Amino acid sequence: MDQFVKKPNQVAAWQSFFARPEVRDLPIFLRGKNDLAIYRGAMGAVAVTVSVVLIGLTQMSLNKGRKSS
């Protein structure tokens, strides 16, 4: 297989990266450099989206909001 893939084995480097003591208490998907910022941004976007949908559903159920004349 080495004749097809000529990259060095990075397993030891990744094992030491994910075994660092300062990130040991974080989930595996939040251990990268920008992962926590991306996660918080995505959760903020989800919260805003859910709020907009709930406001829209409330306005539709109460027959308020934009009306075409």
Q: What are the pLDDT digits (tens) for 6-31?
A: 777 788 887 777 777 666 666 666 76
Can you give the pLDDT at residue 8?
Answer: 77
Provide the mean pLDDT of the chain: 80
Q: What is the largest CA-CA distance in the chain?
A: 72
Alpha-carbon distance of 69 to 65, in angstroms, equals 13
DSSP 8-state class, residue 26:
S
Rg (CA), the chain: 23
Q: Above 70 in pLDDT, residue 52?
A: yes
> Domain locations in the chain?
29-63
pTM score, whole prediction? 0.54
Q: How high is the pLDDT of residue 17?
A: 72
The number of beta carbons lying within 10 Å of the beta carbon of residue 30 is: 13
